[in-house]
Amino acid sequence: MNLRCLVLLTLGSFAHANEALTLWYDKPAKAWTEALPLGNGRLGAMIFGGPTEARYQLNEDTLWGGGPTDPSNSGALQSLPEVQQLIFAGKYAEAEKRIAETMMGTPPTQSPYQTVGNLRLQFSGGGPVTQYRRQLDLDSATTTTRFQQGGVTFTREAFISAVDQVLAIRLTADRPRSISFTASFDSPMGVEVRSESPRTLVMHGHGGKGGGLDHGALSFECRAKISTTGGTTTSNAQHISVEQADSVLIFLDADTSFRRYDDVSGDPSLEPVAHLAAAEKKGWDTLLRDHLSEHRQYFRRVSLDLGSSPAAEKPTDQRLQNFAKGSNDPSLIALYYQWGRYLLLGSSRPGTQPANLQGIWNDQTSPPWQSKYTVNINTEMNYWPAETANLSELTEPLIRLVKEIAETGKRTAQIHYGARGWVCHHNTDLWRNTQPIDGPQWGMWPTGGAWLCTHLWEHYQFTGDRDFLSDIYPVLKGACEFFLDTLVTDPQHGWLVTNPSISPENRHPYGASVCAGPSMDMSLLRDLFSQTAEAANILHSDDDFRQEILTVREKLAPLQIGEKGQLQEWMDDWDSKAPDQNHRHISHLYALFPSNQIDLRKTPDLAQAAARSLDTRGDFSTGWAIGWRINCRARLHDGDRTLKILHALLDPSRTYPNLFDAHPPFQIDGNFGGTAGITEMLLQSHNEEIELLPALPAAWTTGKVTGLCARGGFTVDITWNDGLATEVTLHSRLGQPCTVRIGDRKLHPTIERGKSLTLALTESD
């Protein structure tokens, strides 16, 4: 089935021709991880689909606890030389204790992402419910719930528009005067609710504590406006009641007083008032038309067909259960792939906040790990599929975050290290704090900003946008300057290393995590220095600085192979003695993925060592950790092993009924890691070649994928049969040279800028 040709026949009817892109269930959601998410990057809702109570759990991406603070620790710099000496002397536990006492942020915490609350519709009437179905259509980004009760068929539809910035809800029935309910707001935040008119309900509140503040700096407001056809609408102080309506429209929006990480002076009522008025004037049909057009311009860029089977006819939660028992359901993997693209569209749009640890969907005041931006893997993983899965524009919020922490990170660099440039440790939040937090085992890691900078370079590699490169070059340079000032010479080997640091979030055999020169740091800095140098070369500027960082790059501690044949995680060969041989993080394998410093063809010994490290760690871990392993195995071209790990990610113990990743608990990065990994199985382009089907498993004998992106500005469609690529279509946005690899064969087609070329492939090509 060619997914590009699928169409939604009518919203509100279940378009069975579109089942391949639909999550559906035959019962309402009881748990939050069974509800279905809608989002436009800024506004989010979880739809439960209850017949007697329709719950819409709400989020707005700037509602965080705490507020602007200065968490710098003025005593950190004074302790730095002592800590470095202790680490070089092998007194790691003593160094870690000293860091905890004197070098963490003040306070060593950051702020939580929080929930707006709930819109609840309590329906009158009752009786048995039959023919119940709720669904989320990824192609239209709409939810529909339908059931029969008392001889009436009720339909409830919803979408969140990125064009008009509202949650739109439509309630209909096939018998006049059948819709009666009471609408109310509630929230765990502590709020005031009032009915502003018989048609408008308002909830006002404040963000909670966080980051050392016992109160929130932000105010927020959520508004719902109700319009009926037929029936009557009345209100009391905190509720609106609708009686005997034929149909109902509800438009909802929320906002906070956040304007920038250092500015909370906004009026949270202004935009919701304007958005609701405009939406009501525009009407459902036009809102829906514009929503579909905007959403599909992104979503329909990529299709994936791996075949189908009768297993796909079951509800999604049952498909998951059956898949774990061995059912043949290849279209579930295709659905999961598109699910990751859908979630990124819902949680990261130009102008919004980046996707956090739960995207934008959260029903708590203090969610797990505060749902912050954890930049020692999780935030980066969120954006792994953005470029390759043809959603490049959605990286704008991440790029803006990096620019902003380059501002706040200057103070951390100066006060904590006495250094130029900027630094970010393992977490940041809405307030763009960059200090080390939580404790040395997690927070004493100065290369978070370096990793984020690689995403800026990746965006350039896919887009070729020189104006963008010029804009972000000062950010890259500032990150380099920090390390030029803080790298120190390891007295044993004479290499330049970070000190203090950790290999996230692992403990080595000497009773601590802190160390000097872990492999991940060195790999990150090799990329940072080489990418910044190449940017300077492309921009024909800053040649002296370019030479300086390239010289320093050559002095960094190299990747090493240990006595067990593994890639060493630390500068010394400690791996086999580390207390956790199955640790979830595989930080030292950054060089394999997402970097390309380790490659099967160019560095076969290191690739073999990386495979040995993966074998030692094991294939199965938390959801996001499995996501990383999928991508690494794909880089090693082990398609069958990669598929086995992908199957483990889709196990009900690691994927909730609504397909959210189960860390557990929910973390969205595993979803994005899975989508990125499927792309890596089908297409890789990290070595100035476009490699087709590099990790195709034997089970995927026949299939087609369209719209994947390769570095150099290429879009790629691939058709394969009996495990071999039979046709490839390449579109070049930039007109750059093109090398296509198919196994050991290479093709060198010439494609003009803005043109496409289709190649019919044979085994002799």
Burial category of 188 from C-beta neighbours within 10 Å (exposed 0-12, middle 13-18, buried 19 and up):
middle
Predicted local confidence at residue 349, as pLDDT: 98
Q: Is 629 part of any domain? A: no
Q: For residue 168, how far is the Cα from the chain centroid?
A: 25
Q: Is 40 part of any domain? A: yes
Query: Which residue, 680, 679, 620, 677, is CA-closest to 654?
Result: 620
The stretch 269-279 carries a mean pLDDT of 98
Q: Say how far apart CA 372 and CA 365 lie, in whole Å.
A: 12
Q: Are the beta carbons of 704 and 2 closer than 8 angstroms? A: yes
Q: Say how far apart CA 607 and CA 629 lie, in whole Å.
A: 14
Q: Is 128 part of any domain? A: yes
Predicted local confidence at residue 461, as pLDDT: 98
Q: Say how far apart CA 740 and CA 690 lie, in whole Å.
A: 5
In a shared domain, residues 594 and 721: no
In a shared domain, residues 428 and 553: yes
Q: Is the dihedral of CA 730, 734, 739, 741 positive or negative?
A: negative
The CA distances from residue 405 to 378, 411, 504, in Å, are: 17, 10, 20
Helices marked H in 348-494: 378-382, 384-388, 396-417, 440-443, 448-463, 466-486
Q: Are the beta carbons of 191 and 185 closer than 8 angstroms? A: yes
Q: Is 697 part of any domain? A: no
Q: Find all residues with CB under 8 Å of 576, minimum gap 6, and list them.
A: 562, 563, 564, 566
Residue 742 has pLDDT above 90, yes or no: yes
In a shared domain, residues 279 and 384: no
Residue 602 has pLDDT above 70, yes or no: yes
Burial category of 543 from C-beta neighbours within 10 Å (exposed 0-12, middle 13-18, buried 19 and up):
exposed
Q: Say how far apart CA 48 and CA 252 lie, in whole Å.
A: 17
Residue 8 has pLDDT above 70, yes or no: no
Predicted local confidence at residue 18, as pLDDT: 74
In a shared domain, residues 495 and 544: yes
Q: Is 342 part of any domain? A: no
Q: Find all residues with CB under 8 Å of 14, minimum gap 6, and list them.
A: 24, 133, 135, 144, 146
Q: Say how far apart CA 164 and CA 292 lie, in whole Å.
A: 12
In a shared domain, residues 56 and 92: no
Structure tokens at 223: 């508004």
Q: Say how far apart CA 460 and CA 554 lie, in whole Å.
A: 24
Q: Number of structural domains, the chain?
A: 3
Which residue type, as a one-letter code, is found at position 373?
Answer: Y
Residue 421 has pLDDT above 50, yes or no: yes
For 548-587, b/e burial (b = at least 16 CB within 10 A) is bbeebbeebbebbbbeeebbbbbbbebbeebeeeebbbbb
Residue 376 sits at the vertex; the CA angle it makes with 375 and 379, to the nearest 5 degrees, is: 40
Domain boundary among 250, 283, 299: 299
Predicted local confidence at residue 533, as pLDDT: 98
**Could you give the dihedral angle defined by the CA atoms of residues 306, 311, 312 and 316, in that order, rounded to the nearest 10 degrees?**
-120
pTM of the model as a whole: 0.96
Q: Is 459 part of any domain? A: yes
Q: Say how far apart CA 764 and CA 753 lie, in whole Å.
A: 28
The stretch 403-410 carries a mean pLDDT of 98
Q: Say how far apart CA 241 and CA 724 lie, in whole Å.
A: 61
Structure tokens at 453: 């900078």
The stretch 463-486 carries a mean pLDDT of 98
Structure tokens at 171: 């309630």
Q: Are the beta carbons of 205 and 192 closer than 8 angstroms? A: yes
Q: Are the beta carbons of 373 and 426 closer than 8 angstroms? A: no
What are the tens digits of pLDDT across the range 120-174? 999 987 789 999 999 999 999 999 999 999 999 999 999 999 999 999 999 999 9
Interstrand relation of 690-692 and 740-742 (parallel, antiparallel or unpaired): parallel
Q: Is 92 part of any domain? A: yes
Residue 6 has pLDDT above 70, yes or no: no
Q: Say how far apart CA 208 and CA 191 lie, in whole Å.
A: 11
What are the tens digits of pLDDT across the range 638-666? 999 999 999 999 999 999 999 999 988 99
Q: Are the beta carbons of 443 and 426 closer than 8 angstroms? A: yes
Predicted local confidence at residue 126, as pLDDT: 79
In a shared domain, residues 268 and 191: yes
Q: Say how far apart CA 257 and CA 268 lie, in whole Å.
A: 5
Instruction: Give, as one character, the DSSP assignment of residue 438.
Output: S
In a shared domain, residues 730 and 747: yes
Phi, psi of 222 (to 5 degrees): -125, 135
In a shared domain, residues 400 and 538: yes
Q: Find all residues with CB under 8 Å of 759, minimum gap 6, and list them.
A: 727, 728, 729, 730, 740, 747, 749, 765
Predicted local confidence at residue 17, as pLDDT: 38
Residue 725 has pLDDT above 80, yes or no: yes
Residue 675 has pLDDT above 50, yes or no: yes
Domain boundary among 589, 618, 647: 618
Q: Are the beta carbons of 673 and 626 closer than 8 angstroms? A: yes
What are the tens digits of pLDDT across the range 100-112? 999 999 999 999 9
What are the tens digits of pLDDT across the range 551-568? 999 999 999 999 999 999
In a shared domain, residues 101 and 137: no
The stretch 289-318 carries a mean pLDDT of 97
Domain boundary among 252, 275, 299: 299
Q: Is 713 part of any domain? A: yes
Q: Are the beta carbons of 668 and 625 closer than 8 angstroms? A: no
Q: What CATH number is associated with residue 243?
A: 2.70.98.50
Instruction: Give, as one character, the DSSP assignment of residue 109.
Output: -
Q: Say how far apart CA 259 and CA 271 lie, in whole Å.
A: 12
The pLDDT confidence band at residue 9, using thresholds 50, 70 and 90, is very low
The pLDDT confidence band at residue 319, using thresholds 50, 70 and 90, is very high
Query: Which residue, 359, 354, 340, 350, is CA-closest to 302?
Result: 340
The pLDDT confidence band at residue 4, using thresholds 50, 70 and 90, is very low
In a shared domain, residues 171 and 86: no
Q: Is the dihedral of CA 107, 112, 116, 118 positive or negative?
A: negative
Residue 10 has pLDDT above 80, yes or no: no
The pLDDT confidence band at residue 7, using thresholds 50, 70 and 90, is very low
In a shared domain, residues 219 and 140: yes
Structure tokens at 648: 């483990």
Residue 762 has pLDDT above 90, yes or no: no
Query: Which residue, 380, 354, 369, is CA-closest to 111?
Result: 369
Q: What CATH number is associated with residue 596?
A: 1.50.10.10
Predicted local confidence at residue 765, as pLDDT: 54
In a shared domain, residues 138 and 87: no
Range of the domain at 90: 75-106+378-618
Residue 552 sits at the vertex; the CA angle it makes with 551 and 556, to the nearest 5 degrees, is: 125
The stretch 183-189 carries a mean pLDDT of 98
Predicted local confidence at residue 764, as pLDDT: 57
What is the chain's mean pLDDT, rounded? 96
The stretch 233-259 carries a mean pLDDT of 97
